[in-house]
Amino acid sequence: MLPYQELLDRFVSENRKILGDNLVGVYLHGSAAMGCFHPETGDLDLLTVVNDPLSDETKRAFLNATAALNEDAPKKGLELSVLRKAVCSPFVYPTPYELHFSAGYLSLWRHDPEEYLRRLRGVDPDLAAHVTILRARGKTLFGAPIEAVFGEVSPADYFDSILFDVEDAAEDVLENPMYVILNLCRVLAYREEGKILSKEEGGQWGLARLPEEYRPLIARALAQYAGGVAPQYEAALSQEYAGYMLERIRSAENETED
């Protein structure tokens, strides 16, 4: 059984009720699909695919239902995007989306729905990473099979997507050390070995392969990710690690281009 199975079933039910015949499928990716979910540090990552664009009325109904379901979600909440099937195969990058929801936008939705609908549309480079992980290790919760809906994401687009997520790592590691430390590991694992890993798997990969001076830092991040108390991260070491990892990632990128 998947983590939060009852909540996922309710999410599917709301999708079917609100979207009707327009619904192509509902899909789970991220740690909950990859077998390394921790409720204290993970969110539930979902993609909903539709055939036709959504009206504002439908978007409001969808967001109201999702915000209500989010009350029963893990600590970090639900994170999801609604995509049209036409941009999924062949895969379009950067990827246009119909709608996005995450717990970080709940306040905006509650206080200014019109601004939410205006702002939360456009393209999202992160979707290339989400779809790559979905194709490799995701789950179909309802509807058409993954391989029938999502086309292949090119290696160049996937790498651009995950690099976009870490390009400010030297600054971000001070604000969100656990996420950045582990995410840098999985980006490097892909760049050097072509591995598509979760954050936890990326950290384990880093423990086995990265210089010894950075291993305690990675071990602390892994312990926190597994639900432990947030440790103290030494700022100077964290920034040194981020700089080292970015240099190695970019070096591998340049070698590939050559």
- 209-229 tens-digit pLDDT: 999 999 999 999 999 999 988
The confidence band for 80, taking pLDDT boundaries of 50, 70 and 90, is very high
Check if the beta carbon of residue 141 is closer than 8 Å to that of residue 28. yes
Closest CA to 210 of 164, 171, 249: 249
**Tokens 């995701």 label which residue?**
138
The residues of the chain that CATH labels 3.30.460 are 5-151
Any idea which fold 5-151 has? Beta Polymerase; domain 2 (3.30.460)
Summarize pLDDT for 23-63 with one digit per residue, the tens. Answer: 999 999 999 999 999 999 989 999 999 999 999 999 999 99
- Give the per-residue pLDDT at 200: 96
Longest dimension (CA), the chain: 55
- The mean pLDDT value for 112-129 works out to 95
Strand partners, 50: 23, 84
